[in-house]
Amino acid sequence: MIYIIAYFFALHVLDPIREMTDKAKQISGTNLDLRLVTTPDKDELTELAETFNQMLNRLENSFDAQKSFVSNISHELRTPLAAIVAELELTSDKERTNTEYKLAIHNALNDARKMVRLSNSLLDFAKASYDPSEISFRLVRIDELILDACLLIQKSNPDYKIDIHFEEDFEDDEQISVNANEYLLKTAFVNLMENGCKFSPEKQMLVAIFFDKNGILVSFEDHGIGISEKDQERLFTPFFRGENKSHADGNGIGLSLTKRIVELHGGTIQVKSIKTQGTTFLVHLPYSH
């Protein structure tokens, strides 16, 4: 009698585990929206099911983000490729004058450069998504990095004007230095400077450097067209381009890449903007010690 009772009791206890196992077997990459059934009881099995469901939520979000990313990349690449093919087909259709040939080559080159910029941005985005332990960091002076970024921008855009200002004096190299990957952090600063100049009628912006007890603050301020409150909510989303996209070319990766890089360095980035009055990005980077 004890054996029979114990047998049926064991079957009853194992039923929820069997149901969870059967449900888990049904979940695959095509139906990540399925979830394990949970009960109001706060026992170990319910806690396990809730933990498993939370993991599925993270996986589903990751898969959705990946699908969206791939879709956006395809769209961004398709546009300049289609333009290049169309331009070359029209040009090769019949004999043209030297001026028309030069114009076609110029247009095709512009579209090819867009693809190069997009490819470089995607490579930087991938680097910024690596495990931090796989990226080399060293002590870098922020003022030198900002100056290098400024010179890099002005080399390709001579009409851009960038003023660099120290809000207070610093006592030694440690106060102006952070542990960083020089290439990635310079890329982030270049993106913020280019954005500020690109969307300003005067092509001008101010970079200000502050200090606090925890780290270095760098402000990137322009007096351009500004960003609407609605666009600010999605500003750091990959491939998002807001109402201002008609004012300048871009692929919508720059700011999302910048945010990834700043967070990779343990820092934060904030934006304050008023339409028609300008935008300020504030980057805070912690000291290495």
pLDDT above 80 (res 178) = yes
Which domains does the chain carry?
1-128 (1.10.287), 139-286 (3.30.565.10)
DSSP state of 237: S
Whether pLDDT at 262 is above 60: yes
Higher pLDDT, 165 or 6: 165
Interstrand relation of 204-211 and 161-166 (parallel, antiparallel or unpaired): parallel
Q: Name the nearest CA neighbour of 251 among 121, 124, 153.
A: 121
pLDDT of residue 267: 93
Per-residue confidence band for 229, with pLDDT thresholds at 50, 70 and 90:
confident
Question: pLDDT tier at 161 (50, 70, 90 boundaries)?
Answer: very high
Q: Which two tokens stand for residue 61?
A: 């979000």
Output the CA–CA distances (angstroms, integers) from residue 90 to 79, 82, 113, in the order listed: 17, 12, 20
Higher pLDDT, 76 or 35: 35
User: Which comes out higher in pLDDT, residue 29 or 11?
Assistant: 29
Gap between the Cα atoms of 50 and 52, Å rounded? 5
Q: What is the CA radius of gyration of the chain?
A: 27
Predicted pLDDT at 131: 64
Q: Between 142 and 237, where is the model more confident? A: 142
Our CA angle for 186, 119, 89, nearest 5°, is 145
Q: What is the pLDDT of residue 279?
A: 92
What pLDDT is stored for residue 269 in this prediction?
94
**In sequence order, what DSSP letters do the residues of 179-222 get, joined into one string?**
EE-HHHHHHHHHHHHHHHHHTSTT-EEEEEEEE-SSEEEEEEEE
Over range 169-185, report the average pLDDT: 83
Among residues of the chain, what percentage have pLDDT more than 90?
19
Which strand (E) or helix (H) includes residue 123? helix 98-128
Give yes or no for a contact between 19 and 37, defined as CB atoms under 8 angstroms apart: yes
Tens digit of pLDDT for each residue in 39-83? 777 777 788 888 888 888 888 877 776 776 676 667 667 777 888
